Amino acid sequence: MDFEKLKVAMGDLEEDVVIEMINEVMSDGGSRAQEAMTACQEGMDIVGDRFATGEFFVSDLIFAGELMTNAMDLIRPALSSASGEGLGKMILCTVEGDLHDIGKNIVRAMLEAGGFEVLDLGIDVKPETIVDTAKSENISIIALSGVLTLAIDAMKSTVEAFKAAGIRDEVKIIIGGTPITADVCPIVGADAWAINPADTVKICRGWAENS
Instruction: Note the pLDDT tens digit of each residue in 27-80.
Output: 998 999 889 988 998 898 898 889 889 999 989 988 988 898 889 889 878 866
Percent of the chain with pLDDT over 90: 65
Residue, of 189 and 73, whose pLDDT is higher:
189
Q: In DSSP terms, which residues pair with 159 in a beta bridge?
A: none
Task: Please say whether the beta carbons of 157 and 128 come within 8 A.
Answer: no
pLDDT tens-digit map of 131-174:
999 999 999 999 999 999 999 999 999 999 999 999 999 999 99
| Digit-coded pLDDT (tens) for 166-180 | 999 999 999 999 899
- What residues pair up with 173 in beta bridges, in sequence order? 142
Beta strands in 115-176 (DSSP E): 117-125, 141-145, 172-176
Q: Are 129 and 121 in contact (CB under 8 A)?
A: yes
Q: Report DSSP letters for 28-40, one per residue.
A: GTSTTHHHHHHHH
